[in-house]
Amino acid sequence: MTNQKNILVTGATRGMGKEISKVLVGQGYHVILGARNIQDGQSLVEEIESKGFSATTVQLDVTDINSVQNAAREISSLDILINNAGIALETSSPSNLDVAQVKKEFDVNVFGVMNVTSAMLPLLKNSKRAKIINMSSIMCSLNSALDKNSIVYGASVAGYQSSKAALNMYSIQLAKELVKEESDITVDLVDPGMVATEFGGLEPKTAKKMGAKPVDEGIRRVIELVENDKENKNITFTNNEGVASW
């Protein structure tokens, strides 16, 4: 089965981005692997091709506007943008944050998404019922952070949480703008939960011992949103269990 939809995945060579890309090419989509290091992108293309599928790669550093604009020029058409690239660096208490590290988190998790989305919007607007899927986190939920019965209540990674909260607000405002323009583009936020990857500097085995879910479970909601053309509500924040708390 082949699917003519073109999908760009940022941060496609590691963790969830890599697994998302491999699953989608297996389902017949044309996946464009956004890779900060183009050699890593080429290696993944070769891995995918060795299994009988195909993909392309593009050099894409979400924090470098020139890289982003060059990538946009290389891509001829786009139906779905998956803003997956993200980092978590700073774990100090709120009063002891290393602001330089927090700025790096915002550069990728917020400004990087803005860079890529703005550059790719003209392509998406040429597609029928295009989608933007942004990887968020329940860790940024304001309601959960104030709920003593929530697992988020006791978590304190303020830099990462703040960046994802900012991403959520940006996504809301973008979705509202697109509605005003009567665009068919939908914007969705996904909470993958804690996933057993190297994200945040953890080894996957260590993350799994801490209760992280397998990668295939972490990406399940993203795959559902890609596959389900009938699911076109705007704007959603969901996870495998259903609606996530804002």
3-state secondary structure string, 66-119? Answer: HHHHHHHHHCCCCCEEEECCCCCCCCCCHHHCCHHHHHHHHHHHHHHHHHHHHH
Active-site entry in 128, 153, 164, 180: 164
Is 170 labeled as catalytic in the residue annotation? no
Is 22 in a helix, a strand, or coil?
helix
Is 235 in a helix, a strand, or coil?
coil
Is 164 labeled as catalytic in the residue annotation? yes
**86-125 in b/e burial notation, b at 16+ Cβ within 10 A?**
bbbbbeeeeeebeeebbebbbbbbbbbbbbbbebbbebbe
Distance CA 163, CA 140 (A): 8
The answer to whether the beta carbons of residues 172 and 117 sit under 8 Å apart is no
Active-site entry in 5, 22, 131, 160: 160
Specify the DSSP element, H or E, that contains 161.
helix 158-180
| Catalytic positions, written as ranges | 160, 164
